[in-house]
Amino acid sequence: MATFGLIEYQDASPEVRAIYDDIMATRKTDWINNFWKAIAHDPATLKRTWDDIKQIMGPGALDPLTKELLYVAVSVTNNCQYCIASHTASAKNKGMTDAMFKELQAVIGMANETNKLVSGYQVEIDERFKTS
Amino acid sequence: MATFGLIEYQDASPEVRAIYDDIMATRKTDWINNFWKAIAHDPATLKRTWDDIKQIMGPGALDPLTKELLYVAVSVTNNCQYCIASHTASAKNKGMTDAMFKELQAVIGMANETNKLVSGYQVEIDERFKTS
Amino acid sequence: MATFGLIEYQDASPEVRAIYDDIMATRKTDWINNFWKAIAHDPATLKRTWDDIKQIMGPGALDPLTKELLYVAVSVTNNCQYCIASHTASAKNKGMTDAMFKELQAVIGMANETNKLVSGYQVEIDERFKTS
Amino acid sequence: MATFGLIEYQDASPEVRAIYDDIMATRKTDWINNFWKAIAHDPATLKRTWDDIKQIMGPGALDPLTKELLYVAVSVTNNCQYCIASHTASAKNKGMTDAMFKELQAVIGMANETNKLVSGYQVEIDERFKTS
Amino acid sequence: MATFGLIEYQDASPEVRAIYDDIMATRKTDWINNFWKAIAHDPATLKRTWDDIKQIMGPGALDPLTKELLYVAVSVTNNCQYCIASHTASAKNKGMTDAMFKELQAVIGMANETNKLVSGYQVEIDERFKTS
Amino acid sequence: MATFGLIEYQDASPEVRAIYDDIMATRKTDWINNFWKAIAHDPATLKRTWDDIKQIMGPGALDPLTKELLYVAVSVTNNCQYCIASHTASAKNKGMTDAMFKELQAVIGMANETNKLVSGYQVEIDERFKTS
């Protein structure tokens, strides 16, 4: 159904292959998921996106698993099915347990509920939050 | 601008006061933010929401700070200004550093970008993700 | 802050005035809210939108109050503050009681929560729902 | 494709079975739709969600059919396909006619359109709506 | 999976056929896509939607291809898969090249990212933008 | 209300000043809008975002004005008020006329409406669109 087909490794330009190689080396895996093969039609977007992901999702003040949970939270809120499936799998690979998955979903659901109660009741921001 | 005014402690029914008391005791604080004062017009919603929040946001497989970061991620994705202000403040209270805040925003921004690249390129879910 | 100012009745073209007159007559009121004064910069959009609203929001299989509650539900889910304020006011004018308002918000909040639980748990559609 | 499989009645714990029994009894039906079987992996979420749904969706100031229509409106606005399919079916079971379905969709579409016209034209909230 | 089946030309009422004929004539094509066949269950919505689309999407200050790109941008942001598929196809028919498609997706992704950075950092509107 | 204050030019590090200088030079202007001053707290995000924006929004297969219109379409759909105000101003600077602005809003509104009709009627993707 994709507008473009997927660009497989053997059909990729050297420029794209170099990025595929870096993705596999960084992730210590031997395959490339469809997202990268789809955006590889635009090598500039492929490169920019991978460079950004590598910079942002690596270790830092937040650990990689926490970042993956955040990715799932955004993807669920946006109802992006591919993103939910791929980042839930990534989170598991990085150590998300079943118990963590369940709590993650509970928080996401709850946050979406209270976000709407706030809107519906037209709650104004407390002064204390403005100066925090 | 609120449809209803806010229900202050001194004007609250005993039923509502008991929940306010529990919120302050649980949070070790002496004030109630506007969200609770707004939904207090509906004591059933106030009670249900507080009971749920207390159950979900407490310690568990995910620590309370991680849950607060997830709350911010959902609220930013939903563009709920009150929720962003209040949960960013809560996250700081629970130990979010400036460095963590910055990484949090970078992850949220990135996730929203790739969510849309997935949609725009109409990427299909990899078989591996379906059986994970 | 508006990109364009608001077009007041006295400054409006005869074409726009005719629509303003119809809005006030239909709604049995003597004022025009900002939404109409803003889109009046584009008389084609003003006319099309008013014609559609009049056709859709009038009595039919669903009564006008139910339609107004639906409008609030959409506006809250989209977090459109102007829309929430204006349609909550309209719903009150059409008979929404405080008790109805509270239940309305509870349903909207709940629906947003379960929508996300469905996404997060990646629930597939039941066969029975496909053939209904 | 689900992250977890579905928990069928025969495989459920007594705690989960008790909730399944209550769902079927309350709804006067002999089956459980996938949503409940998916979140049953987290009995706390299953119980909390069902308790909330039962409290919120029952008769009150708004009748059950109106609440179901609101659920559809939220689900369409969020583009949650499972939710749209299941709550459209529920609404039919509670008496939604074809004529009501069509008007429901017309209102939802219209509300989404005007929500965006409000945003695009940057319409400020009328003073009258702030004090209502 | 559709709630209603699709109304094919041979089964359509004269009223619906007339609109189908106009769609095909306007678009210089000999088929009708599912969207129209689905909403044809409600001839009033079919007529209103087609009349609006014809008025809005025709030539004007913006050329038809630009409008189609805008349609894709909205549909991707809403994650509406049908809409993305159909309007991407339409954009190609109106002259969107591969290079344009790639830039389109890059802009959409970028805009969604910065929209969230704005929210997360709680950026206030510059005075200059308020008076522009 | 911002979580962080804004970083003004005179208070900025040399690293941040260099980016501010490039923004002003590229845009042929002598000021920096709040967005950049807010994310300047995270120089990595400031640099990455500006580099991406400069690459993506420059001339290419789509002209800069068309890209700005797309930015507005995304921002309106996300209801991001800062983004709408700033990119509407940018679009005007790049040549958007009043007539173009009005058509832009009409398309955005219409697209949001039909996106929801598609969801509500549960329209399946035409085979032709899958193979396009």
Provide, as residue numbers in chain B, all residues whose Cβ is less than 8 Å from the Cβ of F42.
102, 105-106
The answer to whether the CB atoms of E105 and A42 lie below 8 A apart is: yes
Indicate if B89 and B40 belong to the same structural domain.
no
Domain final residue pick, F20, F35, F57: F57
Closest CA to B69 of B91, B45, B50: B91
A15–chain C nearest CA distance, Å: 35
- Per-residue model confidence (pLDDT) at position C130: 85
Same domain flag for B51 and B65: no
Whole-model pTM?
0.96
Nearest to C79 among B1, B45, B79 (CB): B79
Q: How confident is the model at residue A3 (pLDDT cuts 50, 70, 90)?
A: low
Between vectors from CA E65 to CA E61 and to CA E68, what angle results, nearest 5°? 100
Q: A81 and A45: one domain?
A: no
Mean pLDDT along residues A44-66: 96
Q: Is residue A1 part of a domain?
A: no
Number of Cα atoms under 13 Å in the Cβ half of residue E40: 25
Tokens of B75: 């609220």
The answer to whether position F129 is within a domain reads no
Kindly state whether residue F80 falls inside one of the protein's structural domains.
yes
Q: Do both C42 and C93 map to the same domain?
A: no
Q: Does D13 touch chain C (CB under 8 A)?
A: no
Residue of E nearest to C48 (CA): E52
Instruction: Determine the average pLDDT of the residues in D37-55.
Output: 97
Q: What is the mean pLDDT of chain E?
A: 95
Same domain, E112 and E66: yes
pLDDT in tens, F88-122: 999 999 999 999 999 999 999 999 999 999 999 99
Q: Are residues B76 and B132 in the same domain?
A: yes
Mutation site, F3, F51, F81, interface B, largest B CB count within 10 A: F3
Question: Taking 90 as the threshold, does the pLDDT of residue C4 lie above it?
Answer: no
Share of chain B above pLDDT 90, in %: 92
Residue F132 pLDDT > 70 = no
Q: Please give the average per-residue pLDDT across E75-98, as a whole number.
A: 97
Q: pLDDT by residue (tens digit) across C26-79?
A: 999 999 999 999 999 999 999 999 999 999 999 899 999 999 999 999 999 999
Give the pLDDT confidence of D23-35 residue by residue, as tens digits: 999 999 999 999 9
Domain with B104, as residue range(s), is: 61-132
Q: Could you give the CA distance from residue C114 to residue A79 in angstroms, rounded to a whole number?
A: 12
D112 in the same domain as D67: yes
A-to-B residue pairs, Cβ atoms closer than 8 angstroms: 214
Residue E92's pLDDT band (boundaries 50, 70, 90)? very high
Q: CA–CA separation, B61 vs E42, rounded Å?
A: 50
Give the confidence band of A106 by pLDDT, cuts at 50, 70, 90: very high
Arithmetic mean of pLDDT over chain D: 95
Please say if the pLDDT value at position C2 is more than 90: no
Q: Report whether pLDDT(D4) > 90.
A: no
pLDDT of B130 reads: 84
Contact list, D52 vs chain B (CB under 8 Å):
48, 52
pLDDT of residue E130: 84
Report the C-alpha gap between F18 and F24 in whole angstroms: 10
F93 residue type, one letter: N
SS3 E48: helix
Cβ–Cβ contacts within 10 Å for residue A130, how many?
13
Mean pLDDT score, B113-117: 98
pLDDT tier, B3 (very low <50, low <70, confident <90, very high otherwise): low
Residue B132 has a pLDDT of: 53
CA distance B5 to chain A (A): 9
* The two three-digit tokens of residue E111, written as one number: 């805009």
Our count of domains for chain F comes to: 2
Terminal Cα distance for chain D, rounded: 48
Mean pLDDT of all residues in A84-113: 97
The answer to whether residue E3 is domain-embedded is no
Q: Are residues D24 and D74 in the same domain?
A: no
Could you give the CA distance from residue F2 to residue C16 in angstroms, rounded to a whole number? 40
- Report the pLDDT value the prediction gives residue C1, as an integer from 0 to 100: 41
Can you spell out the DSSP letters for C8-53? -GGGS-HHHHHHHHHHHHHHT-S---HHHHHHTTSHHHHHHHHHHH
Single out the residue of F69, F68, F66, F62 nearest to residue F104, CA to CA.
F69
pLDDT score, position E15: 97
User: Does a structural domain hold residue F128?
Assistant: no
Give the C-alpha separation, C124 to D77, whole Å: 19
Please tell me which of the candidates D79, D85, D105 has its beta carbon nearest to residue E45.
D105
pLDDT of residue F3: 59
Q: Does residue D132 surpass a pLDDT of 60?
A: no
Type of residue numbered F67: K
Q: Which of C57, C81, C103 is the last residue of a domain?
A: C57
- Fill in the DSSP letter of residue E33: -
pLDDT, tens digit, 9 for 90 and up, residues E44-83: 999 999 999 999 999 899 999 999 999 999 999 999 999 9
Token readout for A88 is 């839930």
CATH number at residue E37: 1.20.1290.10
Provide the token pair at A37: 């093969």
Residues E47 and E66 in one domain: no
Regarding an ipTM greater than 0.90, the answer is yes
Cα–Cα distances in angstroms (integers) from residue D77 to residues A38, C52, D17, D81, F72, in the given order: 28, 19, 33, 10, 20
Q: What is the pLDDT of residues F11-43, one digit of tens each?
A: 999 999 999 999 999 999 999 999 999 999 999
Give me the pLDDT at residue A1, please. Answer: 40
Q: Which one has a higher pLDDT value, D14 or E59?
A: D14
Give residues 45 to 104 of C whose Cβ lies within 8 Å of A. Answer: 72, 76-77, 79, 81, 84-85, 88, 104
- For residue A130, the model assigns a pLDDT of 84
Based on the fold, state whether residues A63 and A51 are members of the same structural domain. Answer: no
| Domain assignment of residue D129, yes or no | no
Q: Are residues C47 and C75 in the same domain?
A: no
Return the residue of E nearest to B77 by Cα.
E116
Tokens coding F6: 């804004």
- C-alpha distance from residue A103 to each of A80, A106, B60, B62, D8 (Å): 20, 5, 8, 7, 22
User: What mean pLDDT do residues F63-77 have?
Assistant: 98
- Which of A24, A39, A57 delimits the end of a domain? A57
Same-domain status, B76 and B89: yes
